[in-house]
Amino acid sequence: MTHIKYFLMGIACIAFTCTSLAVNNDPNYEKTELGIKLSLKNANIEIQFYTPSMVRVIKTPKNSSFKKESLSVVLKPKKTPFKIEEEKNELTLKSERLEIAINTQTGNISYTLPDDSLLLKEQTGSPLFTPFKDVDQDTYTVSQSFSLDPKETIYGLGILQNGKMSQRDLEVKMIQANREDYIPFFQSVKGYGLFWDNYSPTTFSDNTNATSFTSEVGDGIDYYFMYGGNADGVIANMRQLTGQAPMFPLWTYGYWQSKERYKSQEETVGVVKKYRDLGVPLDGIIQDWQYWGDNYHWNAMEFLNEEFPNPQKMVDDIHALNAHIIISIWASFGPKTQPYKELEAGNMLFNFTTWPQSGKSDWPPNMDYPSGVRVYDPYNPKARDIYWKYLNKGLFSLGIDGWWMDSTEPDHLDIKPEDFDEKTYLGSFRKVRNAFPLMTVGGVYKHMRETTSDKRVFILTRSAFAGQQRYAANTWSGDTEASWKTLKDQISSGLNFSLTGIPYWNSDIGGFFIWEFKDKLDDPEYRELYARWLQFATFTPMMRSHGADAPREIYQFGKKGEPVYDALEKYIDLRYSLLPYIYSEAWQITNRQSSLMRALVMDFPKDEKVLDLNDQYMFGHSFLVAPVCKSMYTEDKKENFQKEGYRKVYLPKGTEWFDYWTGERFSGGQTINKKAPIDVLPLYIKAGSIVPVGPKVDYAEEKDWSNLQINIYPGTDAEFTLYEDENDNYNYENGAYSEIKFIWNNDKQELTIKNRKGNFDGMLKERSFQLHIETTKTTKQITYKGEKMVIAF
């Protein structure tokens, strides 16, 4: 289909003449309040300053109109002081932080810093505008090429399970899919980012000749260039442009259990009870599909399955066990459901093929009994209203705590070219295809926020688009298969996704499908893989076990005293001990545009060895995580947990590092061999870190943080701000939270605890801190009452 498309584009070029920016010896421009408008022979260019470090570029064919309300961008341009300088064949716009030069002959734009350092430049490549007939609309296929430095590393583009850290030398067809979530945004190690604001199927290409975006449909080229100085600065710009990430409830950072699927309310509640009986921490259970019954009632948003006779009791029983439940909902409906009937009456359902195809549960699908399931039109505000009406009535009213929004790509099977001609509220499906997850997730978030402020929105979703961080969504990497390669690929995919500005990502612990392991959980190598995957997930924004083919509860992997079981329990406990650290880092995301999963380039951009390192990362600002991504302890399908296995770990230069498990100190800039038995994930703490450690609990809010251990890793000065609030409402948006800042002075060997800032209902007025210095193993216990303290060591 792709080859046919470009062949037709070639015919269009012959018939209608593709448009590049032609030479113009007499440029005609006007200064606007935000920038300039420049008229060339065959096209118009408009540059708008949004901030001193961010500009929007719009290019349109001559004598065409361009009106667009962005689905991703929420920032309104701010009036920015700038000046214009004219030279032969060039106009330069200068703000406080950026200089944008336009070649008035070619129309190409270059971006430099005030010190003349070149960041990025456009280049003349494929035609900018190729006439394209989108159903009954005359429009264009749009393209823009750029020149990057040969050794320049770039990051982002979404979830690409290609094992690459730097996204150079590849071509990507960006159409949302189960395991690939595309964001047309990349950022450079040089400290800039570029967001291509287009929602149609798009090709990103990078090779020795050029780096380009080409989108099938666009009335014009529309992109944003931003300079942040470093990765954090670029992400801050992207979130300023497309929306900030709200706080999740504290309980979402605990451990989550799921499988495909729990088949009765007795089974679902029983899993939570079993965890409580074992004393293994758990905060959430997930109810997967078919609680609605057969496929003709697909996604009915109510319990019609006879195995769930009293859903209110199920929810109440889970809550009584101090756990939470989220539930599977989809972007499609079966023909016998109430939502389907109302959406069909309003012509708000699409006709392309989706999953499930059959009304029967057999595999392969029995097409003698088609399901009739259809995807709804989330671009339509009335459709989003209908979606929430039934969600609120059938599920939220029961006390369901959050939403597992599956198939938010959506599932699109047996793809035909005419499928993209489907009419949506905003035009053809082709025109807005990739923004589908943004619209459907956004609809649920906005409606729930309008319904209550007493409960924070939490959405687990399978797909994402630029700006989705503002909708309280945590995106998982789709239906992966269990393999060591897949586990390793999750690392770079999660990091690149975070580098697009969307901070919350997770994966199915153990992989969704267990195709490679015929004996499933009886296969020792799979048990080893599962343990390593869970260790990795301990240091991701959501720790969630899920999959098909075999159950994944901890008690399926043995019992206490056995190697795999003990390893799993150890890391679930570790996750809970780090909740004060994780929740405080989450506040840095909401309040200071930080990221939880941090590619090493974010903190060590001058260390060339980390620029393309795809199997290590920082978790928050203190933990260096090096997941084990190959089998060490199962040879010939036999367990041998006594042998010695090692994992090579590179410690970035410019700092010292502490082995989390032993306290041993290492200089940065070296690769070490870390012994990694089945219960050891190589972890290192950056010198100059302060890490709070919480109590042993069975669920996140079981105990308050009145007695925390504060671990100090000296070697250089350090700061950490402990954040607390009411855990699950939006009062923090009105100032109901507290911050306690810890400052370590390395020269004086002195810790300052600043005056507590803020207040909220239930805030601890007095508490104990056990202050622990890692180098000397010195510990002091103090009582803190909210006033400044200075403690010398």
CA distance linking residue 404 with residue 370, whole number of Å: 25
CA distance linking residue 660 with residue 578, whole number of Å: 13
Please report where in the chains the tokens 């459907």 appear, as a residue: 440
Sign of CA dihedral 257, 614, 233, 654: positive
CA dist 550 → 395, 526, 629 (Å): 27, 11, 21
CA dist 89 → 48, 56, 101, 754 (Å): 20, 22, 10, 57
* Strand ranges for 714-784 from DSSP E: 718-725, 737-745, 750-753, 757-759, 767-773, 778-784
Of 380, 375, 387, nearest in space to 342 by CA = 387
Of 595, 604, 470, 485, nearest in space to 540 by CA = 595
> Are the beta carbons of 40 and 22 closer than 8 angstroms?
yes
Of 430, 380, 403, nearest in space to 139 by CA = 430
Q: Which of 216, 406, 656, 725 is catalytic?
A: 406
> Are the beta carbons of 353 and 413 closer than 8 angstroms?
yes
89: left (phi over 0), alpha (psi -120 to 50) or beta: left
Please report where in the chains the tokens 């590849």 appear, as a residue: 170
Of 160, 138, 140, 107, nearest in space to 215 by CA = 140
> Are the beta carbons of 27 and 91 closer than 8 angstroms?
yes
CA dist 172 → 7, 130, 177, 212, 468 (Å): 19, 20, 12, 11, 21
> Are the beta carbons of 99 and 255 closer than 8 angstroms?
no
> Are the beta carbons of 569 and 281 closer than 8 angstroms?
no
Q: Provide the residue type at 150 as one letter.
A: P
Q: Could you confirm whether 409 is annotated as catalytic?
A: yes
Q: Could you confirm whether 406 is annotated as catalytic?
A: yes
> Are the beta carbons of 40 and 63 closer than 8 angstroms?
no
Q: Could you confirm whether 479 is annotated as catalytic?
A: yes
Of 522, 518, 510, 521, nearest in space to 482 by CA = 510
Sign of CA dihedral 274, 504, 718, 764: negative
CA distance linking residue 259 with residue 208, whole number of Å: 45
Strands 255-257 and 543-545: parallel
Q: Provide the residue type at 175 as one letter.
A: I
Q: Which of 479, 553, 612, 659 is catalytic?
A: 479
CA distance linking residue 275 with residue 557, whole number of Å: 13
Give the residues across from 138 on adjacent strands.
133
> Are the beta carbons of 197 and 467 closer than 8 angstroms?
no
CA distance linking residue 462 with residue 412, whole number of Å: 14
CA distance linking residue 212 with residue 205, whole number of Å: 5
Q: Which of 216, 260, 409, 569 is catalytic?
A: 409
* Residue length of the chain: 793
Sign of CA dihedral 357, 360, 365, 369: negative
Please name the helix (run of DSSP H) or strand (run of DSSP E) that holds residue 536, with its range, or none: helix 524-538
Give the residues across from 772 on adjacent strands.
711, 779
CA distance linking residue 252 with residue 455, whole number of Å: 12
CA distance linking residue 153 with residue 698, whole number of Å: 43
Catalytic residues, by residue number, are 406, 409, 479
